[in-house]
Amino acid sequence: KADDYVTKPFGTNILKQKVGNLVEVRNVMSQKYRKEFIIKPLDLLISGGEDSFAKILKDVIENEITNPDFGVDEFCEAAAMSRSQLYRKLKATVDMSVSEFIRVHRIKLASELLKNKNLNLTDICYSSGFTDASYFSKSFKDVFKVPPTEYRKKLHGDSN
């Protein structure tokens, strides 16, 4: 399917402008869907049959995300794909590497666990598959732009 066309004859300026516009639109769409993929459940991405790529991702993430030993190799094995095939498909779908995808979904799980005031941050860190509390805090801040403690305060309306 073509995104645009240019009738002949055409000048290089028109071609450059068209290509530039297409690249810009693709980047905007990529950012939009990347944010939605992080925030919304994977269920929304499933389209079609049981063997769709989104269904595979959803199943693997749901089953393995809390396992601290779960990494790229385990993801490839669980998805029954080679490392390069999984990387290529994931990069094309959500513009993330496999390790970034795992990390972001662990952070997403942690953000859900932060709703429970009874869980301390260490428990949340380990329950979401992280083994290092400082890496957990740094990763959380990278995704949500605030540390987990501040996120929890905002979530519960605490002003302290």
Q: Hey, how many other C-beta atoms are within 10 angstroms of the C-beta on 121?
A: 18
In tens, the pLDDT along 11-41 reads 899 889 989 988 888 877 766 655 554 444 4
Percent of the chain with pLDDT over 70: 83
For the stretch 135-138, contacts whose Cβ atoms lie closer than 8 Å and that sit 24 or more positions apart, written own/partner, are 136/110
Whole-angstrom Cα distance, residue 68 to residue 132?
A: 10
Whole-angstrom Cα distance, residue 86 to residue 47?
A: 18
Non-local CB neighbours of 17 within 8 Å, separated by 6+ positions: none
Q: What is the pLDDT of residue 1?
A: 60
DSSP 130-156: -S-HHHHHHHHHHHHSS-HHHHHHHHH
140 and 147 Cβ atoms separated by less than 8 Å: yes
Tell me: pLDDT of 160 over 70.
no
In tens, the pLDDT along 87-125 reads 998 888 778 899 998 998 999 899 999 998 899 999 999
Q: What is the pLDDT of residue 73?
A: 95
Tell me: pLDDT of 86 over 90.
yes
DSSP 71-127: -HHHHHHHHT--HHHHHHHHHHHHS--HHHHHHHHHHHHHHHHTT-TTS-HHHHHHH
Tell me: pLDDT of 159 over 80.
no
Residue predicted with more confidence, 36 or 65: 65
